[in-house]
Structure 1
Amino acid sequence: MVQQFGFNFILALAVTAALSGCKNDTQANAPPSQVLARVNGDEITVNQLNYLLASQKSVDDQTRQRMLENLVTQDVLVQKAVEAKLDRDPRVLSSIEFSRRQILAQAMLSKEVGTPQPVTDADVQKFYAERPELFEKRNIYTLDSYLVANNTLTDAVKKQLDSVHTPQDMRATLQAAGITFREAQERTPPEKMPQQLLKVVTPLKAGDVAIVVQNDQAMLVLLDSVQPVPASLKDATPAIQAYLQQERAQKLAEQKIETLKKAAKVEYVQQFAAAAPQAAPAAATPANNNDHIKSGMGLK
């Protein structure tokens, strides 16, 4: 089977290798049992593989082999990069230095933050009870959305929208008014919706239309269908625990950053705008504990 790698993947491998620089003496003289592969005599060791595997949710032999192939690809690219003297390129050196500083900053913050206060059963039950739209009364919504210029929604058009109940009705109404629109349909759970949109959609019934305005654009939302898919407290507990744990770690990280900055002597020689609140780096929280955020609350 031929493996294909995107450019971003290859670049990430190359930068990672550049960050580590040349292999240390321990790796260079690793015992034979620790050596997994050689690329032009350059050894790839068990320690390097274990570092990659630590970020995987589950590990089997196929995963190990895939990660080993990634390391081989990395080594081939790094050797070619050094041969081409890219390790002396000012832009590459700047990227390496920025990445080094970022890694050190995140490592220090992780050390400062430590382990947040554990999430209790009472915390989980409170979160569950306060958000029925996400759990006990959870629905999967099929939405038809129509993006238009806000200034095209005259009072007359808005009045006509009262009689719109299907996508066909919506298209006919907008076309008759000469309004240009972009149409999309999405089937989505509440945890993946922006809070503003969820508040608008929750009270709607199938066939209802709502208008969400943002700056000079407006989104006409037609609720096509609603499918009740409640989540029990038992099913939701792992996702809620993970969410609350990350939320606490994030808040603690922000507090630590503020404390450290106040203790430091910071002098701005130039400022381009008023300072905005700064969020803590995501890596300050334990690795892989934000998967439930990336996929909503992790519910199905």
Structure 2
Amino acid sequence: MSEEASNLGTETRRKQGAEFWAEFRDAARKVSGDDDITAQTIIVDDLEQRYNAVLAETKQLKRQAKTRSSDLYVDSRIHKLQEENERAWEVQMEAGKKSLERLEDQLAVVQHENDSLDATLLLQAHPPGNDGSHIPPLAPEQLREVLLLRDEEKGDLVAAIASLKRKHADRVNAQTFGDAASDDTLHELKATRSRLRESILSLTPSAAATANNGEARYDEDAAALSTQLQRAHDALASHEANAALLKTHMRTLVQIKASERHVAAVLLHVLFEHDGEWTKNDLQTQVAAIVGVDESIVIRALYSLVASGLVRLDRSHALGLVTSLLV
């Protein structure tokens, strides 16, 4: 009997779930008397319910742990890809700046060569007659190719010169406006000084007796007016500098690619609504939702604005702080 119970216990420990509880009930009925069957059945049912509840809770916790680990992996992967894209864009922008510097150097070289070629063509067209020297003429096809090439280079140079002329005209207009405003301010201050002097003289009982005191007072008024004039000049210079900077930023914004111009404008507008500062992740999420494009396009537009000097990206901030330089 004891050997059979031992074998039965070994088999019971190997079984699980419903089969385990069925074998457990049979063993309890065999070992216990008829009076204890009902009480043990209640205990067994209670243990089975607890076991099933613990098992269900364990499965639920396993599913939750698996889901959370998957979400964390996806989030980390997304952030890693975004950082890689940002670094790639920064490298491209640096390469673009270097390429622009090389093109400017090439433009200077081409301009020098163009001047030399013009001098050579002028000598060929009008050779000097007093020294007997003669420059062999170029072949017609070679001359035509050289002229076409130089025409293209001249076109590029003319466009660059026109751009420089526009910038110079804007600077002259801004300075003219500043000079006119300064003259108006000076005339207004002089008129105020004259009115003050007349009012002081009219209120003085004896102008001859108090001439010395009045003169000292005039000197004080003149010094105060001179200080006010200097402040007005400083304020005007500050406004002119801000206006020139704003014009430069506006031209830079217009020169952004057409595919990114609308997104860049929305970026600046959203930054303006948040007092010129916002975190990078929140900003790109908000702009992507407004425009209805992918966040990679928003990131491209953001770095275009950074390269143009319209916004600044502070990576020392935990979430990346974007600041508008127009506000």
TM-score, structure 1 normalization: 0.20
TM-score, structure 2 normalization: 0.19
Higher relative contact order (CA 8 A, sep 6+): 1
More helix per residue: 1 or 2? 2
